[in-house]
Amino acid sequence: MHRPPIQHCKTCGHAVVYRIPDDGDTKPRAVCPSCQTIHYENPLNVVGTIPVWGDKVLLCKRNIEPRLGRWTLPAGFMELDETVSQGAARETLEEAGAQFEMGDFYALVNIARVGQVHLFYLAHLLSDQFDPGIETSEARLFAEDEIPWNEMAFRTVSETLKRYFADRASGQFKVHVFDVS
């Protein structure tokens, strides 16, 4: 795991120890020896869309690290108190300033080595005008043969787009579940 471990109890502030809890769990967890609180570390959800305008897909050029200056689908970390689709819609609005209708769920991508799950929905753009937020330096439509594959920010996005274009060519869209290492 590449995440920093929990060092202090979120309940009482005491230093935690990593051990298998006495409650029948099978994995080492951050356990507070003072108040006995067990702290669980769970994957983060990244949510986004594949926004489509005719035969083109909307990509955003990142204005933030990681991968500053590289292209991605509009996506980001899901927030508390929102559904997956609400988070994907929020990220699309924040990053691209796009007007769209949310489509069907499309892909679930596991990235176990960094503790993330990426979830993408199809989206139908209602306009080809965009107003990107501060995390995006440019929002632009690309035909399949124009996709800047060598300038993509994340492998999850490249792999999702490859599946999207293959489905579009076959005329049959299906839900994709896959792993990226």
CATH number at residue 5: 2.20.70.10
Q: Is the pLDDT of residue 153 over 90?
A: yes
Do 130 and 175 have their domain in common? yes
**pLDDT over threshold 90, residue 22:** no
Distance CA(44)–CA(151), nearest Å, equals 24
56 in the same domain as 29: no
Q: Which domain holds residue 59?
A: 44-179
In this predicted structure, the answer to whether residue 46 has a pLDDT above a threshold of 70 is: yes
Mark whether 119 and 137 lie in a shared domain. yes
pLDDT at 21: 92
67 and 124 part of one domain: yes
Please report the pLDDT score of residue 154 as a whole number.
98
User: Has residue 1 got a pLDDT over 60?
Assistant: no
Average pLDDT value for residue range 155-172? 98
The Cα–Cα gap between 127 and 131 comes to 11
Q: Is the predicted pLDDT of residue 101 greater than 70, yes or no?
A: yes
Q: Name which of 3-7, 18-22, 130-134, 158-162 the model is least confident about.
A: 3-7
Q: How many residues does the chain have?
A: 181
The tally of domains found in the chain comes to: 2
Mean pLDDT of the chain: 96
Co-location of 56 and 28 in the same domain: no
Residues 35 and 48 in one domain: no
How far lies 22's CA from each of 36, 37, 80, 108, in Å?
10, 12, 29, 33
* CA 110/CA 115 separation, integer angstroms: 8
**Whole-model pTM?**
0.89
Q: Is the pLDDT of residue 4 over 80?
A: no
Confidence of residue 3 (pLDDT cuts 50, 70, 90): low
Q: What confidence category does residue 5 fall into, taking pLDDT thresholds of 50, 70 and 90?
A: confident
Same domain, 37 and 126: no
